[in-house]
Amino acid sequence: MTEKAIIKVFIADDHAIVREGLKQILAETRDIVVAGEAENGLDAIKLFRKSECQVMLLDISLPDRNGIEVLKQIKKEKPELAVLMLSMHREDQYAIRALKAGAAGYLTKQSAPKELVTAIRQVASGLKYISAALAQELANHVNDDHEAPLHETLSDREYQTLTMIASGKTVGTIAKELSLSVKTVSEYRARLLVKMKLKNSAELTHYAIKNQLIE
């Protein structure tokens, strides 16, 4: 009986406790090894090049960059790399956006260890991975493109700005957290209000709550 090929995995997550937990789960498998790790987007882009990994576990909420921006950069450099997005957010919030950007799959951090291992093996073999719940959600909306909600027209950064404003954060706080200027964040806010036909942050927050874009 031939042994399974070893799958090399790179972990990019800003929480040390999450990285350690992931490593502990993967340490119990024979065919998956952790070949590198990073705690922010810039390091993820720099260090994955040296790791010779086949799969990357990439947090969607990194401190210095939006995870989807990191995903796009990595896929540009190494299209064959399977990137599995990890998130605290519900699947219906970010999964479609991540898959459209080139992710091989999407998992919430609440997923069971067994599901994580299954997902890694699946994307390493060249397939996509989504949960049964998300598959059902996609099936339910397969004919709804003509009625796509307005927030789906936003860029990744505009969408991130929307969710942060709706969560009660000021433009200044958002600028600091995303390492952007206040002027840049204000421009994102202005653009997303125009695209979504909203007048102010109060209407934006109401929209986000109504459409369950924030917890």
Considering the domain architecture, whether residues 17 and 106 belong to the same structural domain is answered as yes
Residue 67 lies in a domain: yes
> Going by C-beta distance under 8 Å and a sequence separation of 6 or more, which residues neighbour residue 96?
138, 152
Residue 1 lies in a domain: no
Residue 156 lies in a domain: yes
pLDDT at position 1 is 38
Residue 76 lies in a domain: yes
Q: How confident is the model at residue 2 (pLDDT cuts 50, 70, 90)?
A: very low
Considering the domain architecture, whether residues 12 and 45 belong to the same structural domain is answered as yes
Tally the C-alpha atoms within 13 A of residue 116's C-alpha that lie toward its C-beta. 24
Q: Range of 201's domain?
A: 149-210
Q: For residue 33, what is the enclosing H or E element?
A: strand 32-38
Domain containing residue 93: CATH number: 3.40.50.2300
Estimate to the nearest angstrom the gap between the alpha carbon of 131 and the chain centroid.
15
Domain containing residue 199: CATH number: 1.10.10.10
Residue 44 lies in a domain: yes
pLDDT in tens, 164-214: 999 999 999 999 988 889 999 998 998 888 888 888 888 889 988 888 888
> Going by C-beta distance under 8 Å and a sequence separation of 6 or more, which residues neighbour residue 199?
193
Considering the domain architecture, whether residues 11 and 110 belong to the same structural domain is answered as yes
Considering the domain architecture, whether residues 38 and 105 belong to the same structural domain is answered as yes
Q: How far apart are CA 215 and CA 6, in angstroms?
A: 38
pLDDT in tens, 64-74: 888 888 999 99
Considering the domain architecture, whether residues 29 and 127 belong to the same structural domain is answered as yes
For residue 146, pLDDT over 70 is answered with no
Question: What is the number of domains present in the chain?
Answer: 2
Q: Which two tokens stand for residue 70?
A: 């990191």
Residue 2 lies in a domain: no
> Going by C-beta distance under 8 Å and a sequence separation of 6 or more, which residues neighbour residue 115?
107, 131
The β-bridge partners of 107 are 86
Strand, coil or helix: what is 118?
helix
User: Domain end: 89, 117, 140, which one?
Assistant: 140
Its pTM stands at: 0.69
Residue 181 lies in a domain: yes
Q: How far apart are CA 17 and CA 59, in angstroms?
A: 13
Considering the domain architecture, whether residues 195 and 110 belong to the same structural domain is answered as no
